[in-house]
Amino acid sequence: MSNIDVISKLYYTALGQTLRERMKSEHVKIIDFGFDDVDDTKFSSDSTIRGILNGNRNLTTNSVKIFLQTLNYNTSQEMYFPSDGFCLQIIKEIFKLVIYSNHFNNSFFKQTMLQQLGNNHSNPEYIEYFVEEHKEIFLKSFLTIVPNESKEFSSKYISFLICDWLIELACIISQN
């Protein structure tokens, strides 16, 4: 499994949870997912919507339009990065993924994280504390990956951006 695969799974899961919460607040059901195109109304299959909401599927550029309109988002940036809290949660989950998963064993990234966290690396609450303690710099750095263009992007593309950002995260961690 590649870095992009594990980061995509992490991001899809978090995004799916956020989209489910938005569905509840907007009183939307799965059968309501569709958007008005120039010629007609387009819908996505229930299984596709469920897969996205459960974090098992990529939100394609075609699906983005459906989610934007159905859930009343103004831009894809607003949907993919809904709040600082969401972004911080992604960062915290990245820390936990790197530290606890075997995927990053023997990586310089994991060694750097463990070195900075010291003996507290096995304590999930300390990881949360560490990220909160440095949230300004983490958020400032993380939010630079948000595309400025107003076009729709797939969640796979966003996952690639996050994966690229891991290099900068490693640099930030090594400096703190």
CA dist 107 and 104 (Å) reads 5
Instruction: Give me the mean pLDDT over the 53-77 stretch.
Output: 90
pLDDT at 151 exceeding the cut of 80: no
Instruction: Please report the pLDDT score of residue 38 as a whole number.
Output: 52
Instruction: Give per-residue burial for 39-76: e unless 16+ CB within 10 Å, then b.
Output: eeeeebeeebbebbbebebbbbeebbbbbbbbbebeeb
pLDDT at 39 exceeding the cut of 60: no
pLDDT at 74 exceeding the cut of 80: yes
pLDDT at 10 exceeding the cut of 60: yes
Sequence-distant (6+) residues with CB within 8 A of 85 are none
Q: Which amino acid is at 85?
A: G
Give the model confidence (pLDDT) of 125-142 as tens digits.
999 999 999 999 999 999
CA dist 171 and 176 (Å) reads 9
Instruction: Please report the pLDDT score of residue 20 as a whole number.
Output: 96
**41: which DSSP letter?**
E
pTM of the predicted model, to two decimals?
A: 0.89
Instruction: Please report the pLDDT score of residue 4 as a whole number.
Output: 92
Instruction: Please report the pLDDT score of residue 71 as a whole number.
Output: 93
CA dist 87 and 81 (Å) reads 7
146 contacts 77 by C-beta, under 8 angstroms: yes
Sequence-distant (6+) residues with CB within 8 A of 135 are 88
pLDDT at 45 exceeding the cut of 80: no
CA dist 5 and 1 (Å) reads 6
Instruction: Please report the pLDDT score of residue 42 as a whole number.
Output: 59
Round the average pLDDT of the chain to a whole number and report it.
89
Domains of the chain as residue ranges with CATH:
3-80 (1.10.260), 84-175 (no CATH)
